Structure 1
Amino acid sequence: MELRQLQYFVHVARMQHVTKAAEELHVAQSAVSRQIHRLEEELGVRLFMQRGRNVQLTPVGQLFLRRAESILDNLDQAVNEIHEFLDPEHGEIRLGFPHSLGIHLIPQVIAEFRAKHPNVKFRFKQGMFASLIRDVLDAEVDLAFISPLPDKNDRVCGEIVLTENLFAILPMNHPLAREEEIDLQQLKDETFVLFSNGYSLRPIVWDACKAAGFIPKIGFEGEETDAIRGLVAAGMGVSLLPEMALSHTSSFMPAVVRLKEPGVSRTIALIRRKGEKLSTVAGLFHDFLIHYFQEEYRSR
């Protein structure tokens, strides 16, 4: 079995099309088909079924794909580790994070880190709570910011690096828009604009409203902080957003009002695979982040 066969197989499996995989690999379609055929002969099974112009993995093909991807990922990691051992300043860090951190926090920490390590490369992956954990476990990313810290998964470990407050956001013409602070209970009769299911901010807002004595009436749902903020600014309802998501301003903004104590907050954690040593460059970035949030970030 050749490495090239595994690479061709994985490309075809992901694209479900031999011609498109060949184009991406910059080789002839016949070469891809030939290598797939040889791989099937060696294994003694069919890996693909024809579905019109596309191909689809057989059940055994799906099983083999997981192993093949793991083999190729391990090979890539081994090559990266060698490069990093020779020169960790030219390594690559794979980082996952939720969308709400991509507006301000991620660019800020990357800029600070690259000021000291300008040749380190980054590969980013955004996702929701469950998908970020999966990306860490599948070795798609080395580290991930997540909210909250997973407490029911013994395959990841991490630490809380930041706690931030949530603020009420209201249309500019709302009767409470000019208040310095309000009780969440004052919004009990309002229509809420919330994140869709699967986003960690949704249960935070939902539980806060329940603690304030009411169930939020949902009028609209969104998947990005910009969308939530824009819908509220357009008068579609009210919502709660973390401070970081409100750092970016535009000409079309909602009113931002502080919630009275005890207020509403969320924790942000940095997680990694448990029992597995980080690569040299990822470990360097991890230590930088811990120091950054313990010392530099809190002093701002």
Structure 2
Amino acid sequence: MKRINLDTEEIRSFCLLAETGSFRKTAQRLGISGSTLSRQISRIEDRTQARLFDRDTRNVALTEQGKMFLRLAERILNTTDSALDEFDTYLNTKRGKLTIAGLPSVTAGLLPPLIAEFMQAHPNVDVQLNDMLSEGVLREVEMGRADIGFTADVVEDTDNLSFQRLLSDRFIAVGAPGGFLDENRTYQWEEILSQPMVAMSRETSVRSIIDAACTQHGFAFHPRFEVAHLATAGAL
């Protein structure tokens, strides 16, 4: 069987002519002359050895063979476009930019060795790391300004966000040496909450989790100090 050789531009011209039913409109949309378009269609019919269009001075209509060829042509173009999109995505990962938003605790502790490994494997990808509070992380990802975000809060999947749990950690209370928490025993919620507490601000994921836990157990949480950064909490 003789192989039919057609380029994608000829196939696109054929599909557009089938859509518009007009040589003039098709030529205008393609930015070519009517005679050039006519020669393209004639070449396709010569190579396929089939009459694909019935045409007169005013109208252009697909023949039965043309309708069959149109289904195959559209499949070819869809496959070609999909393959080119896939290759473009591949190139972007090789010569692209990855923006990460994360909590300061994550960007300082968890991510640096992972980023170093990633940059070694993908040296042509620029990595931008933005440390911010939980609400900022979610906002950056949702607005498309960050490709991925790391937060300590549980996020419900939405149309714009997909959440995947990576790990779980425990909350602990920390006190000064020789102070209230110096005894090696179990402390109750009431005891801890009765003390002058240093807490993270309400915009942080840590605070939202603590507030939720207090509400669940029926306790009121009124910290003495509220800070946005962990270093400040540790200093206090």
Q: TM tier, shorter chain?
A: 0.5 to 0.7
Matches within 5 A, 1:152-163: 153-163=158-168
CA distance in 1, matches of 2:213, 2:154: 18
2:192 is the counterpart of 1:187: yes
Name stretches of at least 5 consecutive residues in structure 1 with no aligned partner: 1-80, 232-300
Kindly indicate whether structure 1 or structure 2 has the higher relative contact order, using CA contacts under 8 Å at least 6 residues apart.
1
Contact 2:102 2:137 in 1 (8 A): yes
Indicate whether 1:101 and 2:106 are aligned.
yes
Q: In the alignment, is residue 169 of structure 1 matched against residue 174 of structure 2?
A: yes
Contact 1:89 1:117 in 2 (8 A): yes
Identical amino acids, percent of aligned pairs:
23
Pair 170,211 (structure 1): closer, same or farther in 2 beyond 3 Å: farther
Distance 1:213-1:85 versus aligned 2 partners, 3 A rule = closer
CA shift in 2, pair 1:180/1:146, >3 Å: same
What is the deviation of 1:133? 2.2
CA contact (8 A) 2:214 2:220 kept: yes
**Which of 71, 86, 96 is matched with 1:91 structurally?**
96
Residue 117 of structure 1: aligned partner: 122
The Cα shift of 1:170 comes to 0.7
On the 8 A contact 1:94/1:123 being kept in 2, the answer is yes
Post-superposition offset of 1:89: 3.4
Distance in 2 of aligned mates of 1:203 and 1:138: 22
**Alpha-carbon deviation of 1:136?**
1.5
Q: Deviations over 1:108-157 (max 9, x none)?
A: 32123234334432112233333222211221111111232322743211
**Separation (CA, whole Å) in 2 of partners of 1:97 and 1:133:** 9
Alpha-carbon distance in structure 2 between the residues aligned to 1:192 and 1:130: 23
Counterpart contact for 1:206–1:216, Cα < 8 Å: yes
> CA offset at residue 201 of structure 1?
0.9
Does the residue aligned with 2:154 lie in a helix, a strand or coil?
coil
Aligned length: 151
Larger Rg: 2
Give the counterpart of 1:221 among 223, 226, 232.
226
**Matched-pair contact (CA < 8 Å) for 1:190–1:217:** no
Task: State the shift of 1:212 in Å.
Answer: 5.0
Say whether the 8 Å CA contact 2:153–2:209 is kept in structure 1: no
**In structure 2, the residue corresponding to 1:158 is in which secondary structure?**
coil
Q: 1:197 aligned to 2:202? A: yes
Higher strand fraction (1 or 2): 1
Unaligned runs of 5+ in 2: 1-85
User: What is the Cα deviation at residue 82 of structure 1?
Assistant: 8.5
| One-letter amino acid of the structure 2 residue matched with residue 140 of structure 1 | R
Higher alpha-carbon deviation: 136-145 or 112-121: 112-121
- After superposition, the Cα gap between the structure-2 partners of 1:147 and 1:84, relative to the gap in structure 1 and judged at 3 Å, is same
Letter in 2 for 1:150: V
CA gap 1:111/1:152 in 2 versus in 1, 3 angstroms: closer
- Which of residues 192, 200, 213 in structure 2 aligns to 1:208? 213
Residues 1:117 and 1:85: Cα distance change in structure 2 (over 3 Å): closer
Structure whose residues are more often helix by fraction? 2
- Supply the AA of the counterpart residue of 1:123: Q
Letter in 2 for 1:139: G
Contact 2:199 2:233 in 1 (8 A): yes
Q: Which of 142, 145, 151 is matched with 2:156 structurally?
A: 151
